[in-house]
Homo-oligomer: A and B are copies of this chain.
């Protein structure tokens, strides 16, 4: 009860920025939001229909570039529901890293394989960093869109945290490699 699903608010939030199709919403989730949220078509499309039934968004069927699309626009009611949620203090911040799980149990499998996991983790992070850095520098410019400031701050979170991840990876390598030498 205290923990209602967030997908409704994610969609309302994205639609508060601009009118979008379900497909475009998925793209936003896979780019700007992928750092801290994700969702599949299997939850996006049914939720959009629910929101429409509840009068929180209105749909507009149209043809664009020879393609049938359904574009959704937030209503005043939808904006009110979104605001009410944004005001709520209860939040759940959850980190679920299988990499840390495997490290935690690393003594069972040894340093070599554990180091490989850490290495792969670092590579994934390094691959993500440029995208985040670009986002920050693009959104940092003072522009007309007030919302860019907020989006930039989430990307900044990514940059700072991911850089810390990389530092940590180095430390882990040092500790585990040093541990390996002791056995020689």
Contact = CB atoms under 8 A, between A and B. Distances in A.
Top 8 closest pairs, chain A to chain B, by CB:
A107-B147, A13-B105, A106-B150, A91-B98, A36-B100, A86-B109, A164-B164, A93-B97
A103 interface: yes
Provide the main secondary structure of the chain A interface: helix
Contacts of A163: 164
Contacts of A164: 160-161, 163-164
A36 B105 contact: no
A150 B176 CA distance: 9
Given A36-B95, A94-B95, 5 more contacts: A6-B98, A16-B108, A87-B113, A93-B97, A153-B175
Q: How many copies does the complex hold?
A: 2
B91 A154 contact: no
Interface residues of A, number: 65
Interface in A3-40: 6, 9-10, 13, 16-17, 32-33, 35-38
A153 B167 contact: no
Interface in A85-127: 86-87, 89, 91-109, 113-114, 116-117, 120-121, 124
A48 interface: no
B37 A96 contact: yes
Interface string A147-159: 1011101101100
